[in-house]
Each structure stands twice: as C-alpha cells, then as structure tokens.
C-alpha cells in the first residue's frame, strides 16, 4: 500500500511539474461566451498538462483598451481572441504565431479562406489567426415584404431594388407625418458603408501608402446613394442604434448587419425571417469583420501551450461547433464537410447564406488608425444624413482628417 501511494505521489508530482498555466482573454459574452468556455473545458480534459485561465475582457472596444494598457505595463496575457489583433502583434514586431504556423506540418494554411489571412496580417505578414469572423448580410421580414406587395422569396439583388423595395415597405400608420414602419435600417454604419465601397469597385485605403481612397468619384457615388436612402424615406435619419430593436419589434423591413444576428434571432421572432446576400452595385463584395486569435510570447512552455490551444480551437470539428452555436462564419473550408455542420446547414438554410457569401469576402491589412477611420466614417455619414454636408464634402473632409492622423 505504501509503495502504491509513493508511486501515485511521484506520478502526481511529475504531472504537476510538467503542467503549465496560460492566461487567455476573450470578448464573448452570453451564450457565445458559454460555447467558447465549453470548448476550452474539453481541451483541458484532453490535455491535462495545460491549465487555461480564461478572462472575460468585455466588448471589443473594452478588450482593445485592456490590450493597450497591458502593452504599456508589460502585463499581457499569453494569448486571446483580440479585435484588431494585428495592431497589437505585428505592429510591435510580434510574429511568433507565424513561426508556429510555418513549423507545424499538421497545420494546413491552404484550408483557410485567403480573405481570412488578409484580415490577420500586418503590412502583408501574418501575425494572427482568424477566428470569430462574421460578414454583413441582409436580414428581412417576409411578412412586411408580402404586405407591401413584394415577393418574400425574392429579396433585393441590387442597390436600385433595395431602394425601391424599402420605399414600398415604409409606412406612416397614424398619419402624423413620420413613418412608423421603415423599409431599411443599418447597424454598424462604417462597416456597411465599406461594403458599399467594395461593391462599387472602390478601395478603402491603399495598403502600401496608407492613402484613403473613399473620397474619389466611386466613394462619393456610394455616399450619394446613402443620402438617397434617407431623402426618399427608405431609411431613417440617425437612428441606426435602434436597428436591432426595430427589426425585432416587426417595424423594419430590411436590416443590414452582422451575420451573427442570424443565430441570435433564429426561431425567436414572431414573424418569418429571410436572409440574403447584401445587394450589389457593380459587383458582389463584402468586408469581413470580427476578431482573431493571437499569441503574446512568454516562456517556450507557455507559448507551446497557447499554440496547442489555438490549434484545438480552429480544428474543423471544434470550429464547426463554435460556428453553428454562435452564428459566426467558419474560416476554413473543411468545416463545411463536418457531418454535424453539413446536417445543420441543410436544416437551417438561413445560416447557409452567410457561409456562402464568404466567397465574396474582402479585407484590407490592419493599420493603427483603423479605429479613427471608422469613427470618421460614422461621424460623416451622420452629417450626410442630416444634410450638414454634401456627400462629396463629407468624403473629402473625412479622408483629409484621416490622412492627417496617419501622417502624425
């Protein structure tokens, strides 16, 4: 008995000595956060030598601020799901994750969508791995379409149809001069506007020179259409923060926003919902968004453990489960071959729309002033809606402010 206890103690001490603890940050709340935690819990059971201390870091903006503070105080975690991750890794010379990618023969880079790698680069070099990625989609109320005399099975395919259909849905029910039902509203206006730029064959920023491109003729044309949506009573002025509530209450025909809403709203609304690609202008194109997996170097043992966890998270099976439970888009092609995912897609066609739209996904390299750019687009789109500036004046002024910020 004593010998058995001694052997058990030796084994315990050996495992303890070899085990490593890593700190991993994540910005996923609610059911999404729970799904993520369950996937990590299974990782710890399969790899008992790694203890993962998960730390919820709040919304994307809160998480980014925490990373900035941690960089300043040299108190970074071992890794995490980080929005704008390349700005906090590649921009600081941290390409450690690329070393693991290139030295791991089991890791298949070609299985990932190329647009995902573009989203994970800093100055053209990979410094993160795409993870909880979403695309903007058109979500629509089939009942409101039918009431407006539109075919619910045929959502708008083009900008022109979007304007036409949205105008038909907009209604003033109490004759007070203000619509009670709107045809269109947009969540996250800078993101959707960037989709419109891509759709109009307009770049956002030159990756080599960091010169803004949205103040050219094609960018002004997209901004002019934005103004037309307001002027012709297809979309309300300055009410984009209410888009979710309007759609959920049944007073909004077309909602443009993240594909993650598909999972959030599926089966929970009192009307039938449809999902479609974003309407196009000269081409189909959408910007991807979301966060990436990063590794902040510490000791070799800790770095190895983080890499082991990241590989676990992006394995086709685990990534597939994460995507169908959260509504995020799988960033590797083999996920769609996982039986559970394939069955889910067959039974839930609305989810399939966002997955299929990935082939039109586009991304631009991260740069330090991305947040400034989005804030400027938000501000100047609002000025366009309110008639404070013309579309041309707004795009020129926003681009000039961004240039000065980049130069400084």
Q: Is the pLDDT of residue 15 over 80?
A: no
Q: What does the pLDDT read at residue 16?
A: 47
Q: Which of the given ranges, 152-156, 287-291, 343-347, has the highest pLDDT on average?
A: 152-156
What proportion of the chain, given as a percentage, has pLDDT over 70?
A: 96
pLDDT band at residue 1 under the 50/70/90 scheme: low
Element (DSSP H or E) covering residue 60: helix 60-73
Can you say whether the dihedral through the CA atoms of 219, 84, 242, 377 is positive or negative? negative
Q: Give the residue-averaged pLDDT of 57-63.
A: 94
Strands 273-276 and 136-141: antiparallel
Q: Is the pLDDT of residue 196 over 60?
A: yes
Q: Is the pLDDT of residue 235 over 90?
A: yes
pLDDT band at residue 3 under the 50/70/90 scheme: low
Is the pLDDT higher at 347 or at 71?
71
Question: In angstroms, what is the C-alpha Rg of the chain?
Answer: 23
Q: Is the pLDDT of residue 49 over 90?
A: yes
Instruction: Determine the straight-line distance between the first and last CA of the chain, rounded to whole angstroms.
Output: 73
> What is the model's pTM?
0.87
The predicted-structure confidence for 321-363, as pLDDT tens digits, reads as follows 999 888 888 899 999 899 999 998 888 888 888 888 888 999 8
User: 35-44, 108-117, 257-266 — which is least confidently predicted?
Assistant: 257-266
Q: What does the pLDDT read at residue 355?
A: 83
pLDDT band at residue 5 under the 50/70/90 scheme: low
- In the chain, count H helices and then E strands: 18, 13
Q: Is the pLDDT of residue 149 over 80?
A: yes
Burial 118-147 (b: 16+ CB within 10 A, else e): bbbbbeeebbbbbbbbbbbbbbbbbebbee
Q: Is the pLDDT of residue 11 over 80?
A: no
CB atoms within 10 A of CB 250: 14
Q: Is the pLDDT of residue 6 over 60?
A: no
What proportion of the chain, given as a percentage, has pLDDT over 90?
A: 79
Q: What does the pLDDT read at residue 2?
A: 56
Q: What does the pLDDT read at residue 183?
A: 98
User: 27-41, 336-350, 373-387 — which is least confidently predicted?
Assistant: 336-350
pLDDT band at residue 72 under the 50/70/90 scheme: very high
Q: What does the pLDDT read at residue 10?
A: 46
Report phi then psi at 170, rounded to 5. Answer: -60, 130
Q: Is the pLDDT of residue 14 over 80?
A: no
């Amino acid at each position: 008995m004593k010998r058995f206890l001694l052997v058990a103690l030796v084994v315990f001490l050996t495992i303890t000595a070899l085990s490593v603890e890593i700190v991993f940050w994540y910005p996923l709340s609610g059911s999404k956060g729970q799904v993520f935690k369950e996937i990590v819990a299974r990782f710890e059971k399969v790899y008992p030598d790694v203890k993962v201390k998960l730390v919820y870091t709040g919304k994307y903006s809160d998480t980014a601020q925490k990373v900035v503070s941690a960089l300043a105080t040299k108190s970074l975690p071992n890794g995490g799901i980080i929005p704008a991750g390349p700005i906090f890794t590649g921009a600081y010379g941290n390409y450690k994750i690329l070393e693991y990618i290139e030295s791991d023969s089991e890791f298949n880079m070609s299985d990932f969508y190329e647009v995902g790698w573009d989203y994970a680069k800093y100055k053209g070099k990979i410094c993160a791995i795409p993870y909880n990625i979403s695309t903007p989609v058109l979500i629509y109320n089939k009942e409101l379409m039918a009431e407006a005399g539109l075919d619910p099975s045929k959502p708008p395919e083009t900008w022109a149809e979007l304007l036409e259909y949205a105008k038909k849905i907009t209604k003033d029910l109490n004759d007070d001069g203000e619509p009670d039902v709107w045809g269109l509203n947009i969540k996250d206006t800078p993101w959707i506007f960037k989709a419109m730029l891509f759709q109009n064959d307009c770049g956002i920023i030159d990756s080599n020179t960091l010169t803004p491109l949205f103040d050219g003729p094609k960018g002004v044309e997209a901004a002019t259409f934005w103004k037309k949506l307001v002027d012709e009573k297809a979309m309300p002025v300055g009410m984009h923060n209410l888009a979710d509530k309007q759609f959920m209450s049944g007073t909004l025909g077309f909602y443009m926003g993240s594909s993650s809403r598909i999972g959030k709203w599926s089966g929970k609304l009192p009307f039938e919902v449809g999902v479609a690609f974003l309407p196009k202008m000269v081409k189909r194109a959408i910007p991807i968004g979301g966060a990436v997996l990063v590794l902040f170097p510490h000791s070799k043992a800790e770095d190895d453990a983080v890499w082991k966890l990241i590989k676990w998270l992006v394995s086709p099976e685990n990534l597939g489960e994460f995507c169908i439970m959260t509504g995020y888009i799988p960033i590797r092609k083999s996920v769609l071959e996982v039986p559970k995912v394939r069955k889910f897609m067959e039974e839930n066609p609305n989810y399939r729309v966002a997955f299929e739209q990935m082939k039109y996904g586009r991304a631009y390299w991260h740069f330090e002033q991305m947040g400034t750019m989005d804030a400027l687009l938000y501000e100047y789109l609002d000025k366009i809606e309110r008639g404070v500036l013309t579309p041309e004046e707004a795009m020129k002024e926003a681009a000039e402010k961004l240039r000065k910020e980049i130069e400084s």
